[in-house]
Amino acid sequence: MRTNNSKVKNTIISIYFVLIVLAILLATFYKLFNNLTGNPFFTFFIIVFAFALLYFLAHVSTRYFEYDSDGSKVIVVNRGLLLPERFDPREHVLEFEKEELYAYKFRNMFLYKTLTFYLEDQHSRKYKDTFNVTLLPRKKRRYIKQSLRKMIKQNKQEAELNE
């Protein structure tokens, strides 16, 4: 099964555009905000801090997600949307055999959602890897859950047969 959240790309680019317009407006109406406090430096600090916080929240939560479980391997990709692939330091790729998966967990925090894969390699070492699925629609998350449940069920059946 293949799925991704490519339909939200335009929304994410729009969020960055709104943030840029907001920064321009705040710079333009700086004198209006300056009357709120007596200290112009404090007003400037508040405006810059608010903008930086909004930008950071948008930057952290807006990630492209791709899931591909066709074939014998599962490929999961998380990347940012604004920079080209070769310049994107936020790209996170996980490729594993279906037999390595022994558990998964979706976490739904207030505005942030994650998917954690629990894997076991050939040497019986266990590790986990977490991906941002905040912008993945609920329907696609449900499809991924079905696919992962099926893999875990097959892995348990194969383990019972091998014993």
How many alpha carbons lie under 13 Å from residue 25 in its C-beta half-sphere? 7
- What is the Cα 71 distance to its own chain's centre? 24
If you average pLDDT over residues 28-50, what whole number do you get? 73
Q: Which residue has the higher pLDDT, 33 or 24?
A: 24
Would you place residue 101 in the very low, low, confident or very high pLDDT band (cuts 50, 70, 90)? very high
- What is the Cα 147 distance to its own chain's centre? 19
Q: Which residue has the higher pLDDT, 63 or 43?
A: 63
If you search the block for the tokens 């310049």, which residue do you land on?
87
Of 112, 119, 2, which is closest to residue 63 (Cα–Cα)? Answer: 112
If you average pLDDT over residues 7-33, what whole number do you get? 78
Instruction: Out of 64-68, 79-83, 90-94, give the one with best mean pLDDT.
Output: 64-68
pLDDT at 161: 84
H runs (alpha helix) in 29-130: 30-34, 40-61
Evaluate whether 154 touches 98 at the Cβ level (below 8 Å). yes
Average pLDDT, the chain: 84
User: 10 Å Cβ neighbour count for 130?
Assistant: 14
Domain ranges of the chain: 1-163
pLDDT at 51: 82
Positive or negative torsion for Cα 60, 61, 63, 69: positive
Would you place residue 82 in the very low, low, confident or very high pLDDT band (cuts 50, 70, 90)? low
The predicted-structure confidence for 7-17, as pLDDT tens digits, reads as follows 887 877 888 88
pLDDT at 36: 66
What residues contact 6, with CB distance under 8 A and at least 6 apart? 64
The predicted-structure confidence for 151-160, as pLDDT tens digits, reads as follows 999 999 988 8
